[in-house]
Amino acid sequence: MKLIPLIQETLEFVRKRNPNEPEFLQAVTEVYESIQPAIQRDETYQDIRILESLAEPDRQVIFRVPWVDDKGNFQVNRGYRIQFNNALGPYKGGLRFHRSVNPSILKFLGFEQIFKNSLTTLPMGGAKGGSDFDPHGKSDKEVLHFCQSFMTELWRYIGSDTDVPAGDIGVGGREIGYLFGYYKRLTNEFTGVLTGKGLNWGGSLIRSEATGYGCVFFAQEMLATRSETIQGKVCTVSGSGNAAQYTVEKLNQLGAKAVTMSDSDGFIFDKDGISEEKLAWVMALKNVRRGRIKEYAEKFGANYFAGQRPWGIECDCAFPCATQNEISGEDAKTLIDNGCYLVSEAANMPSEPAAVDQFLTKKILFGPGKAANAGGVATSGLEMTQNSMRLPWTRDEVEKRLHHIMVTIHKNAFQTAAEYGHPGNLVVGANIAGFVKVADAMLDQGLV
Ligand code: NDP
Ligand code: 2IT
């Protein structure tokens, strides 16, 4: 697509304002290039201030997080909350604790979150936050001390009608519990200020499962456009955390076969499939013992590939569930050459631009993260609803709603892509559908 001057100028403006932020620029470039058909069609979006405003966070909070480790030594980390856009509802998005966390990564995640949340059909704005704190190898007590110090600063910027954080990489049920407990002490309020809470203190059934389940539901919808089902498909999965575990669980439930899982040290390949029993063992390994995926190979006699990603393994469908830019252009080529014809992104921006190009050019079924992984935040939205009503829904009720939302997101992205002249291109479809709703709301509200 040849870019019109408005998009070129906007991207130039964003690049100048945000030097040294490659992940953020990657996310903005992809969205702004792909929404060009909507900008060209409707003059209202040709006001450059819409695109400039959207790429500028409403507020960025950066703070010091001092804490004391088990040896009695003082440690200092950096905490962040990027409140990107609240045109559609309170700021909403996860917290990531990982050593790589920096403004570029959180801004890319916060920017993506705006459009993702727009697609969910629920009233949520976009935000992201976190810290360069590395939870690997830390004791529960150290994680508790860190979370309490983090919340000592964060509490004043969030609230159930202001900004509702949740989990992401390195932030799961344990961390949400510690963060929630301290928020409650500081404010003397029991509110739905965080999602992903424990089931007996305000959490929603299916929230833990939602990202993985949603991503597989999205894959089912993509396959249905070719009159196919997921049953019997051989699937590669990366990661072994929250998103990966429940992707594998749903694949098993639907009769597909997941053959790989990974962590940052390497991946395992189990040609017999990661059965329900083996997955239960992985969940205990990762969520309780907090061990390495390599142990799976030792336990079940599978193959382990140190320092590698699973994209060289033959499969029908691939589910990247670890992190950004984990599929290179080269990996994409290998996947396609080996017969893979569906990629559904549970992770945020896992495919490098060169990989996305190949998926689109070769016309395989490609579900971009902001559509395919929206089930996580959508179910967070359902948790907020239940908290507001002070009434929990059953597991079945939440899963039905999640399924309906994923079907709706796919339909919206699919129809929008066709409407704007790019049939089958869910990158164009999801970005335009997400953008139009946010831009209209911003215009209605006087571009604030
Ligand atoms: P977890 O922390 O539960 O798991 C992350 C997994 O990815 C771990 O196996 C981890 O391995 C691996 N990983 C993390 N960073 C890297 C890296 N740099 N290189 C290789 N492997 C890595 O996080 P989630 O499962 O929650 O998140 C995974 C992805 O899904 C992220 O992109 C996240 O943004 C996205 N996502 C999550 C949602 C949620 O609700 N949790 C919702 C929507 C998207 P190791 O333990 O070795 O670090
Ligand atoms: O990337 C994401 O959508 C998440 N990490 C979930 C955010 C949320 O608020 O549930």
The catalytic site residues sit at 128
Beta strands in 195-300 (DSSP E): 234-237, 257-258, 260-263, 266-269
Atom of ligand 2 minimally distant from the CA of 96 = 5
The residue with tokens 């856009």 is 85
Q: What is the pLDDT of residues 172-188, one digit of tens each?
A: 999 999 999 999 999 99
Going by pLDDT thresholds of 50, 70 and 90, the confidence category of residue 1 is: confident
HSE-up (13 A, CA, CB side) for residue 203 = 21
**C-alpha torsion sign, points 243, 116, 19, 158:** negative
What does the alpha-carbon distance between residue 322 and residue 289 come to, in Å, rounded to a whole number? 19
Q: What is the pLDDT of residues 10-55, one digit of tens each?
A: 999 999 999 999 999 999 999 999 999 999 999 999 987 899 999 9
CB-based pocket (< 6 A), ligand 1: 167-170, 172, 211, 239-244, 263-265, 321-323, 346-348, 373, 376
Asked if pLDDT for residue 385 goes beyond 80, the answer is yes
120 close to ligand 2 (CB < 6 Angstrom): no
Which of 164, 169, 308 maximizes ligand 1 atoms within 8 Å of its Cβ, making it the mutation to test the pocket?
Answer: 169
Q: What is the pLDDT of residues 388-442, one digit of tens each?
A: 999 999 999 999 999 999 999 999 999 999 999 999 999 999 999 999 999 999 9
Residues in the chain: 448
Query: So where are the chain's domains?
Result: 1-55+425-448, 59-189, 210-363
- CA-nearest residue for atom 4, ligand 1, is 241
HSE-up (13 A, CA, CB side) for residue 414 = 18
Ligand number nearest to the C-alpha of 171: 1
268 close to ligand 2 (CB < 6 Angstrom): no
Identical fold, 59-189 and 210-363? yes
- CA-nearest residue for atom 17, ligand 1, is 264
CB atoms within 10 A of CB 269: 19
pLDDT of residue 398: 98
Query: What is the dotted CATH code of the domain comprising 210-363?
Result: 3.40.50.720
Query: What is the dotted CATH code of the domain comprising 59-189?
Result: 3.40.50.10860
| Residue 366 contacts residue 426 (beta carbons within 8 Å) | yes
Contacts of 178 (CB under 8 A, 6+ apart): 143, 144, 147, 148
Q: What is the pLDDT of residues 116-147, one digit of tens each?
A: 999 999 999 999 999 999 999 999 999 999 99
CA of 358 to the centre of ligand 2 (A): 27
Cβ-based burial of 3 (10 A; exposed 0-12, middle 13-18, buried ≥19) = middle
What does the DSSP assignment read for 282-305? Answer: HHIIIIII---THHHHHHH--EEE
